[in-house]
Structure 1
Amino acid sequence: MSGKFNSIDLLLVIIFMLPIVLGFVNKFNSYDSKQEVYGFEKNIILLIAGITCLFWADRGTVINQVMDALRKNSVLASFADSFPKLFFFLVFFIVLAILYYTLKLIVYAVNNVVIFPLLDGVDSFSRRRCSLLGSVLGALFSIPKSIIYIIIVCFVLSFMPFKIGNLSVSDSNIYNMVQKKAIDPIKNSSIVSQLPRLLNNSLKIKVVNEDNNSHSQNSDDAVPGNGRNVIVYYNGVTLDQGIKSNDEINSKAAQITAGKSDSRSKALAIYKWIGSNITYDDNKASSVLSGQSVKNSGAIPAFNEKKGICFDYACLFVAMCRSQGLKVRVITGEGFNGYQWVSHAWNQVYLPEAGEWINVDPTFAVAGNYFDNKNFYRDHKQKQVAGQW
């Protein structure tokens, strides 16, 4: 960081001072102040409503509940099955609009009772005093706007290779101060860190023909045991390698299922533990999506590192279930991540008590109940059983 005031610092000072100067020139008046306050409040309300709806969608609560309620109508259910993406977006924005206008109505009522009368009082007081007081108040009331402008500008600059001559934004003392004091705390806050992370297109399947060494990527006919002399790789490993277990995994599975007597309760306990203790690895998913080779795929890396992508979740579920004598499968297909269908892997576990296989998706566990969910195929499309044990 440069120790001297430079051209980029000067530009940021001008951006900061401009609203204050305009406020001084135009003087304080309650009408304009009301418009600015209410406009700012509406932007904040929209942001709050949007984040809230994202949390609701991610946690499988209000958005999913509204979708389930609407699907009770046969016409809407047919529409949802035919156009799941469009149906999700329509419900999302309906809930968003209801929440936004409800909050806006509450804020408008508070403004009329508290904020607007206060601004009218300040306006009346400044007019009775002197013109200079109106200018000073106009400048003071513009400071919050200036602060917001400078934060927005610095935030945008953080994503751009902005330069003036040989200077970059990182040479600006003001930019670095705003970055450290305002932008970094927001980026690193617990709220931002908990914002939903959508499932990425993170399952790559390669079929290698041992006869002629040819191979294909993401082949729909990559079915193990289909009579051809092939080896199938999932994110760089075979299924046998992916589901490989160890003493630590087996011990943890035994601990998780202690006291459980039936297959459903054992499988449910394993599902809940994986969903609560393994986090989605966005960096690994991005590497797979970009075609890069990934290492450490499967149950053991996911258990040791406490993170992974869908294939890793599915493999760990298999490893834990097998150690407890449960029959289990890996299923490959597609999952709907909120805006598009992407390649995905999940599980099925056999319940001898009921004589049926049920769907289990530990990757989706953070978004709601995906253990034997009756609406499972609302956001899943099964292509094949990749493996069964």
Structure 2
Amino acid sequence: MMEWIRAGTVWEPVSLIVLLLLLVSLLQGMRRGASGSARRLFFFVWDAVIMIVCLVLAGRIAGSLSPKAAEWLTAHVDVPQRELSATLQAWYTFITSLRDFALLRYGILFLVSYLLLRLAASFLSPLLEMLFASRQRPGRHESMERPPGGQAASRAAGAVFGTVHGAGRAFVFVAILFIYVSLAPNGLWSNLIQQSPLYSKASAVLEPVAGDMLTGRGPVLAEAVQAEFQNVLQRKYEIVDYNIPADIEQAALQITKDKSNEEEKAKALYDWLGSRIAYDWDKANNYVDNGVWKEQTPEETFKTREGVCIDVARLYAVMARASGLEVKVVTGTGLDGRGGSGPHAWNEVKIDGGTWIPLDATWASSGDWFNPDDFDKTHIRAV
């Protein structure tokens, strides 16, 4: 106990917040008295139990419904092959991401399930309130006045209940910090939190309970969430470019008409774009020097025969889909091998029924960037 007290008296942000929670709860307990503080403490514990039960049930419900939801969305969601309004683009970006990205789908189902369970559980609270009110209502022959010294005793008992309530609040606060540090060990303020003696003592208690679940898996989960978010951002290009203009479709079919498999089609399109679309240095320099970005559609890139990496990648994706290929626009960082780097975009295309291979038609004039062995050394996917 003395070690905890010494850790709590080191003046740093975590211990100061914990002491503030204890002090505020103690003062609230004294003000409310014994019965009011006992009631607050009971509902604090009740709410914590309900939250844990709802979290566990929501996890099970989301895990059970996720594959069924994916099947239903696959069968019923079909993006129209026409020009879409901004509202429809946003809707189809969301609904197809929900269909295709498992982590996003699980997260949405978990959140909805948890909120519905909490809503259902909220109907129990009024019943408990009525029970407390009936037990605290004085009897017909009971004096309404407190006996001498009763108020002081009530305040003292309330202070005890309030301190226990404050300890519960402090535990929840430290547990949230523990989860945050476990998920984002290099995140904002993580180092400051870990330097707290009080946090170190508390994390030693929490580690056996949640350590196996969070340690090691936390950063992996955080990276998975970032990757899923990046997938959703990339999906917008697919939806915006889902409508394939007739001239682009005809060109793509002409380029791939003599190719017998998916890899040959993908390579033919790569060669065509790499040899015909010039890099738009004026557009790139205007963005770097002046911060001015000119958005252009795949059709504009096709007609003008110039664009930057994202323009080439989007045009490749449209032409690949016109040829019956599954394709992605990937964004991240490009490394030139001489110490230089910058934002970049390229493609991945599915061949042989399931293998995704990378390619970079923007860099085709500088070498073979159709699925080379060292592609991932120069193209760092954003996560």
Category of TM-score, reference length = shorter chain: 0.3 to 0.5
TM-score normalized with structure 2 length: 0.39
Q: Which is strand-richer, 1 or 2?
A: 1
Higher helix share: 2
Q: Larger Rg: 1 or 2? A: 2
